[in-house]
C-alpha cells in the first residue's frame, strides 16, 4: 500500500491553486501566502522526517550487519528454495 501523504500532495497543491484562483476571481481576500507556506512546510517536514528516520534505520542495520559474528552469505538462503523444487 502506498504511503498516503505521497498520494495526497498533488491533490493538495491543486486545491491550493483552485483556492487562490477563486479568491482572486471573487476578490474576497481570504487567501494568504503565510497559510500556504505553513501548509507546504508541514507537508515537506512530514516527508523529511520520514526520510531521516529511514536513513537512520539503514545506518543502524548496516552497522549491525558489519558487527555480526556470523558469516551469512545470500547463497545459504536459497537452500530451502532448492529443496522444494522438483528434481529431474
Instruction: Give me the pLDDT at residue 79, please.
Output: 53
- Domain for residue 72, yes or no? no
Measured between alpha carbons, how far is 17 from 20 in angstroms, rounded to an integer?
Answer: 5
Question: What does the alpha-carbon distance between residue 83 and residue 23 come to, in Å, rounded to a whole number?
Answer: 67
- As a whole number of angstroms, the distance between CA 64 and CA 69 comes to 10
The domain tally of the chain equals 1
- Quick one: pLDDT at residue 58? 93
Q: Is residue 17 one of the residues assigned to a domain?
A: yes
Evaluate whether residue 15 is within a structural domain.
yes
Determine, yes or no, domain membership for 49: yes
User: Coil, strand, or helix at residue 44?
Assistant: helix
| Any domain includes 54 | yes
In tens, the pLDDT along 51-80 reads 999 999 999 998 988 887 766 665 555 555
Q: Is residue 83 scored above 60 in pLDDT?
A: no
Q: What is the dihedral of CA 76, 59, 43, 4, to 10 degrees?
A: 10
Kindly state the average pLDDT of the residues 13-40.
Answer: 82
In a domain, 80, yes or no: no
**43 domain residue, yes or no:** yes
Task: State which residues form the domain around 44.
Answer: 4-67
- What share of the chain in percent tops pLDDT 70? 75
| DSSP one-letter string for 2-34 | --HHHHHHHHHHHHHHHHHHHHHHHT-----HH
Among 8-12, 48-52, 67-71, the minimum mean pLDDT is found in: 67-71
In the predicted model, what is the mean pLDDT of the chain?
A: 78
Amino acid at each position: 500500500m502506498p504511503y498516503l501523504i505521497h498520494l495526497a500532495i498533488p491533490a493538495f497543491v491543486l486545491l491550493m491553486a483552485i483556492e487562490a484562483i477563486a479568491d482572486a476571481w471573487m476578490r474576497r481576500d481570504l487567501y494568504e501566502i503565510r497559510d500556504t507556506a505553513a501548509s507546504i512546510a508541514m507537508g515537506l517536514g512530514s516527508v523529511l522526517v520520514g526520510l531521516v528516520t529511514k536513513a537512520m534505520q539503514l545506518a543502524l542495520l548496516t552497522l549491525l550487519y558489519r558487527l555480526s559474528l556470523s558469516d551469512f552469505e545470500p547463497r545459504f538462503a536459497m537452500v530451502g528454495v532448492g529443496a522444494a523444487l522438483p528434481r529431474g
